[in-house]
Structure 1
Amino acid sequence: MHHTQSPEMKACIDNCLACYRECLSAAMHHCLEMGGEHTKPRHFRLMMACAEICRTSAHFMLLGSEHHKHVCRECAEICVECADDCERIGDMQSCVDACRRCAKSCEEMAA
């Protein structure tokens, strides 16, 4: 049997991969160059955790694993936390937007 993905799941995979790309890139470039609040351990770890859970969520959906629901639920939670923290620090709007988009679609996948 061939696994087909719903349009919602395809959109979620795209949002997860975009968020993975954005968080990793922002952390490695923007945050490291800015320093200060941007490189405090709690914020930096959160960005790395967000990037990784987004990548993992996309992977689970691409695998067609039923466990994607649990992973997506956790992904949504971490993305919201990351978006809030990036918003708090400021000058990270593209990361905030990517995290919020990913959180929204992952909440839908987890439902």
Structure 2
Amino acid sequence: MHHISPDMKQCIDDCLGCYSECLSMAMSHCLEMGGEHTEPKYFRLMMACAEVCRTSAHFMLIGTEHHKHICRECAEICRQCADDCERIGDMQPCVDACRKCADSCERMAR
């Protein structure tokens, strides 16, 4: 069994939190708001963000060194998603979760 450091445990928690926040915000708030919230490019980014967060957590949990590559990509997608959510507005929980996850993933990617 591989050892999960406290930093990695925090990153896993941040990734799963972001996955949950992005997916639930997209499926409830964004779909109900419509308009810019459901523009295909933006909505796909939210779905990609949720999925890469879930995948990053999964890679860390199974103990593969490839998590560094996934975490690097996760951080980039999370930052882009946070910027879009902030620009559209009224989505601060998603913005915060994405930025927290991006910071954690950047540390794991090193």
> Do the structures match in fold with TM over 0.5?
yes
Q: Give CA deviations for 1:48-81 in whole Å, capped at 9, x if unaligned.
A: 0000000000000000000000000000000000
Moved over 2 A (4+): none
| 1:68 equivalenced with 2:67 (yes/no) | yes
Query: One-letter code of the match for 2:2?
Result: H
Partner residue in 2 for 1:43? 42
Secondary structure at 1:55 match in 2: helix
With the length of structure 1 as denominator, give the TM-score of the two structures.
0.98
2:79 aligns with 80
Q: Which runs of 5+ in 1 are unaligned?
A: none
C-alpha deviation, 1:99, in angstroms: 0.1
Identity over the aligned pairs, expressed in percent?
A: 78
- Size of the aligned set, in residue pairs, is 110
2:3 match:
4
Gaps of 5+ in 2: none
Q: Give the superposition deviation at 1:106.
A: 0.0
2-structure distance, mates of 1:48, 1:40: 12
Whole-angstrom distance in 1 between the partners of 2:95 and 2:19: 12
* CA shift for structure 1 position 36: 0.7
CA distance in 1, matches of 2:9, 2:41: 31
Cα distance in 2 for residues equivalent to 1:75 and 1:57: 7
TM-score by length of 2: 0.99
| Partner of residue 110, structure 1 | 109
